[in-house]
Structure 1
Amino acid sequence: MYIFEYSELIRNLVISDLKVKYQSSFLGFAWSMLNPLLMMLVLYAVFQNIFKFEQEHFALYLLIGIIAWRFLSIGTMTAMGSIVGKPSLVTKIYIPREILTFSITMSAFISSILEFTVLIPLMLILGAPISITILLFPVVHALYFIIVYGLSLVLSALYVYFRDLNQIWDILLQIGFYVSPIIYPLTMVPEKYLLYYTLNPITRLIMMYRDILLFGNFPTVLDFLIVGGFGVVFLAFGSAVFKRLSLRFAEEV
């Protein structure tokens, strides 16, 4: 498999991307946390004080949802340009082109882990309990990575041919933010739509993150099966689309 065969190249690409992301800005990684923290403060002020949401540890509840969503948003948006952003690696040498998308997604994955890590001191400061269920975080996050990578394969392949795709995907992400339980609890979703709503793997993932990080609950086996099943489907579909469209990458980039 190319991940193991080209592991050194992938490692170098990931390190290079992280250096560009953090060393080129004055505050570096701090910007990665300022964005979700500021968004959390705004949403907290609006929904806690104006709409009077009654949710235990609502600030952390919001922050977990925002950070989880950022991995999907940043991961797919940056990975979308992974092929067109490195034309020399596409046209001049032969490597499995999936490596370019994989490395960008892995970079976003590592950044997301760092963002989640910052939650631990915040939970201690705000008096939220830390449960043994937090040990399930690597499993949940790995399943999320598979979903994001599968989507990124499709988007990066299509973007080679349709350069307006980033605008369309940005709009879809904005819609997705508000139709996912990031701001509001599932109890606000009408019961007749609840089944379809919870079939959304992102909805289940956000619920799983909150269960293991904030509420100390173990996700159900069904949760893992649904999220894992979507991951397999997305990865298989993404790989098939990428393989088919990659035949003309060198001509199009």
Structure 2
Amino acid sequence: MSLYDYRELIKNLVVSDLKVKYANSMLGFAWSLLNPLLMMLVLYFVFSNFFGSGGSFVLYILTGLLVWRFFSIGTSAALASVVGKPSLVTKIYIPREILPLSSTLSSLISSVLEFCVLVPLLFIFGIGLSPAILLFPVLLAMFFLIVYGMALILSSLFVYFRDLNNIWDVLMQVGFFACPIMYPLSQLSKLPEQIKTLYMLNPVTLLIEMYRDIFLEGTVPDLWSFAIVLVFGVVLVVFGNAVFKRLQRRFAEEV
């Protein structure tokens, strides 16, 4: 049976993940809107004196932050997607890929809700929306492949290596400053060309700039960026699926 045959179970798991995420919260889903806004304000007041000020810089930070949060929260939440549901691993048979898949889908929904914050701000600051916004679902789909690929790898490894969550937290902190979230790419002009080339091959960096293109500049990202992100996403899903299938043989024993 394919994963599509388990679509009802996937749907129920996604809904369950979202309910757990906002359980006992007075504001519920509103935190998906408030959290990135509050974080953006903190970063704006800290870094505006260094890199710029005004509405354009606010939106610049917010766009980068929203992209990064999907990657960071999506992969971190997926770490425990297998370990956190032992009854589905040991007592019944289901394709276990469903667990990281449902976790990634719930993070995707949260990310779309967060991007709803950006739209009214674009009009408030006089930018508006251009036809390039139609590429938003395309970018989201490619980004989903990357996050899901990482989810397959991380969730399967975490079954055997429980320190991985701490290591991943540190890597996410490093990654936050290694991506152009609160500083412009022009700040990299002093770096050697080889380092800049490697930096721009980072698919998350490319995605941040591509989202800024369609939201802030109203332009279509270049095809080279599309190609790199798409290839990286497909390869990551194929590799992640291979790792997951190889390691899942002992999930029931280790969970």
Deviation at 1:126, TM superposition (A): 2.1
Deviations 1:19-69 (A, max 9, x none): 222243111112222221111111111221x21426871101100111110
Deviations 1:192-250 (A, max 9, x none): 22211110000000000000111101011111110000001110110011000000000
Q: TM-score, normalised by structure 2?
A: 0.95
Change (3 A) 1:118 1:55: closer
Could you tell me how far apart the structure 2 residues matched to 1:56 and 1:37 are? 13
The aligned counterpart of 1:79 is 78
Matched, 1:163 2:165: no
The aligned counterpart of 2:140 is 141
2:234 to 216, 232, 235: 232
The letter for the 2-side match of 1:15 is V
**Structure 1: 4+ residue segments shifted above 4 A:** none
Matched, 1:40 2:37: no
The letter for the 2-side match of 1:201 is P
Deviations 1:52-99 (A, max 9, x none): 426871101100111110001110111110001000000000001000
SS in 2 for 1:83: coil
The aligned counterpart of 1:248 is 250
Could you tell me how far apart the structure 1 residues matched to 2:76 and 2:252 are? 21
Deviation at 1:117, TM superposition (A): 1.8
The letter for the 2-side match of 1:130 is L
Could you tell me how far apart the structure 1 residues matched to 2:156 and 2:221 are? 34
Contact 2:36-2:114 within 8 A present in 1 as well: no
Could you tell me how far apart the structure 1 residues matched to 2:182 and 2:2 are? 39
Deviation at 1:191, TM superposition (A): 5.0
Could you tell me how far apart the structure 1 residues matched to 2:51 and 2:106 are? 38
The aligned counterpart of 2:22 is 22
Deviations 1:114-166 (A, max 9, x none): 11122111211222231110110000011000000000100000000111100
The aligned counterpart of 1:202 is 204
SS in 2 for 1:218: coil
Could you tell me how far apart the structure 2 residues matched to 1:39 and 1:214 are? 19
State the identity %. 61
SS in 1 for 2:50: coil
The letter for the 2-side match of 1:18 is L
The letter for the 2-side match of 1:80 is L
Contact 2:75-2:147 within 8 A present in 1 as well: yes
Contact 2:130-2:214 within 8 A present in 1 as well: yes
Contact 1:2-1:99 within 8 A present in 2 as well: no
Change (3 A) 1:194 1:52: closer
Matched, 1:91 2:93: no
The aligned counterpart of 1:112 is 111
Structure 1, unaligned stretches of length 5 or more? none
The aligned counterpart of 2:9 is 9
The letter for the 2-side match of 1:109 is L
Contact 1:82-1:101 within 8 A present in 2 as well: yes
The letter for the 2-side match of 1:240 is A
Q: TM-score, normalised by structure 1?
A: 0.96
Could you tell me how far apart the structure 1 residues matched to 2:38 and 2:214 are? 24
